Amino acid sequence: MATSLPNLVTRVASLLSGNGGAEYAKRALVRLPLLTFIFVCVFDPADQLLGAKVWLFVALWGATCIVGLLASDEICLSASLLLSVLLFITIPLLSILWYYLADGTQPYAGFGLLKGFLLVSVAIVMVANRVDVLPFLSATLTILALMTVAIFVALKLDPALFEILQRIGSGTGLVVGLFERSYGEAPMFIQVNVVTSPLLAISIPYYFDRAMSEPAVRSKLLYLALAAISVVGMLLVGSRNQAAVALLLTFLLWPLYTQHVARNMLMGLGALAVLALPFVGKLRILLNPDEFSNHIKLTLLGDYAKILSDPLTLLLGQGLGAYYRWSTSGRPDFELTGENFYFNTEITYEEMVRYFGLPGAAIMVALLLFPVAHAFLANTNARQRALALGFLAYLGMSATNPLLLSSNGMLLFSVMLANTFQISDGDKYSSIRSGP
């Protein structure tokens, strides 16, 4: 029997006046700034519209401290989680100290980059408050994918919108490029360069897992459609990396839900290879070393070989955010202006070695890969492995794109850490007493 309105009001009032209402209020105190922070990171990545990232981060930790002080039970955190976050922040801090000891000249971008590394501490907030942000993050990314599709369709229908949408995108920092691009002799295509679109690599496996987990056919179709929207969104961005990731995830996720995972993954890769045969000529153009973007990256590798030939730099690095005068800009937008004195390039992992030295970079990469290793080596479920596969794809894209060391890259890593360390029965935790 349906609940009458007076009874419903009475139940809500009872809930809010009792302990349940207090608990709900405390959860909302943390969830509101956390979810707002995620939304801002996705749709205001450059912090140009609201300038709210730092304030939301402070509010998030402030709310967490208040909830911790008011909690009547213990807040249990994994010692491994605390160590991972501590290491991930300490190594950049030590590299900044090393920079000032070894060089100390200006300009310097280390402190600006450090803010991104501090975001990894959000993983502690998620675990301490038992918040799973993946549903909200995936829904937000679906909106982003739909926006990408809408822009692409609008430009197809009315190319005159290029200038207007380009102006809006530049003003927000969300869409950094709307233009027609061609690789070699390939036909021109519209590229909708949405900054945060690589994050779609996590919404694809999330919704695919929901589709595989739902018993009802209607629900399966709904979640498959949501996953497909993210796939299409990545394809329409026009990036080679993102197109490869969208296709690979499409063919590699389903084996995770079968008994013979390795065999079926090989079958999926084989099917993708067969389907790619008619496009071998175009693939050769994409991989041509003389292609504009490929030439920049290959030139940069020569610079890194020169930089890391110094044993001291190879061991300790030049420091987080240290500027260098490159042979090329390393970024097509700066290449057009001839700028080549900059603090980072698109070659992320070589850049980490330049920043932190080989030992420091190795520790950082090991920490990044920990959620992936845990998902596939520990006794986890298909959902964990699917998300880890998406995150691994994101790390792969980051090899030749400046994605990882941004606020969004660090946010995604913190989400994966929290997902790995969420409290479950049988885990060993160090208890932090927060109440009386």
pLDDT tens for 68-81 read 787 656 667 788 89
Give CA–CA dist 405/428, Å, rounded: 31
3-state secondary structure of 241: helix
Residue 3 confidence (pLDDT): 46
Query: Who wins on pLDDT, 59 or 279?
Result: 59
Which H or E run contains 431?
strand 430-432
Task: Give the pLDDT score at 8.
Answer: 42
Task: Return d(Cα 116, Cα 408) in angstroms, integer.
Answer: 8
Mean confidence (pLDDT) of the chain: 82
Closest to 171 measured CA to CA, from 39, 46, 339: 46
Question: H or E segment at 76?
Answer: strand 75-77
Find all residues with CB under 8 Å of 171, minimum gap 6, and list them.
48
Distance in angstroms (rounded) separating the CA atoms of residues 44 and 175: 10
Quote the crossing angle between the two packed helices 110-118 and 79-102, to the nearest 10°.
180
Helices (H) and strands (E) in the chain, counts: 19, 6
Which residues share a beta bridge with 193?
177
| Out of 318-322, 350-354, 427-431, least confident range | 427-431
**Is the Cα dihedral 95, 99, 101, 107 positive or negative?**
negative
| Residue in this structure with the two tokens 């979640």, named with its chain if needed | 223
Q: Which residues fall within 8 angstroms of residue 137, CB to CB, at 6 or more apart?
A: 38, 42, 199, 202, 203, 415
Q: Decide if pLDDT at 431 tops 80.
A: no
Q: Which of 146, 200, 179, 176 is nearest to 46 (CA)?
A: 176
User: Is the preceding peptide bond at 255 cis, omega within 30 degrees of 0?
Assistant: no
**355-409, pLDDT tens digit by residue?**
999 999 999 999 999 999 999 998 888 899 999 999 999 999 999 888 898 888 9
Q: H helices within 18-133, ranges in order?
A: 19-43, 53-70, 79-102, 110-118, 122-128
Provide, rounded to the nearest whole percent, the portion of the chain with pLDDT above 70: 81
Residue 14 is predicted with a pLDDT of 45
- Asked if residue 107 has a cis previous peptide bond (ω within 30° of 0), the answer is yes
pLDDT 10s digits, 84-142: 999 999 999 999 999 999 888 888 999 989 988 999 999 999 998 888 999 999 999 99
- Listing DSSP states for 182-206 in one string gives --TTSPPEEEEEETTGGGHHHHHHH
**pLDDT exceeds 60 at position 144:** yes
242 vs 394: CA distance, rounded Å: 9
Interatomic CA distance for residues 227 and 220, integer angstroms: 11
Domain boundaries, the chain: 20-432
E runs forming strands in 136-267? 175-181, 189-194
- Beta carbons of 234 and 242 less than 8 angstroms apart: yes
**What is the DSSP pairing of strand 189-194 with strand 324-325?**
unpaired
Got the DSSP string for 290-338? TSHHHHHHHHHHHHHHHHTTSHHHHHH-S-TT--EE-SS-SSHHHHTTT
Which residues on neighbouring strands pair with residue 77, listed in sequence order?
A: 430
Cα–Cα dist 84/418, whole Å:
11
- Residue 210: CB partners within 8 Å, gap ≥ 6? 219, 223, 226
State how far the Cα of 61 lies from the Cα of 402, in Å rounded to an integer: 27
The answer to whether the beta carbons of residues 221 and 227 sit under 8 Å apart is no
Token pair 């300038």 is found at 51
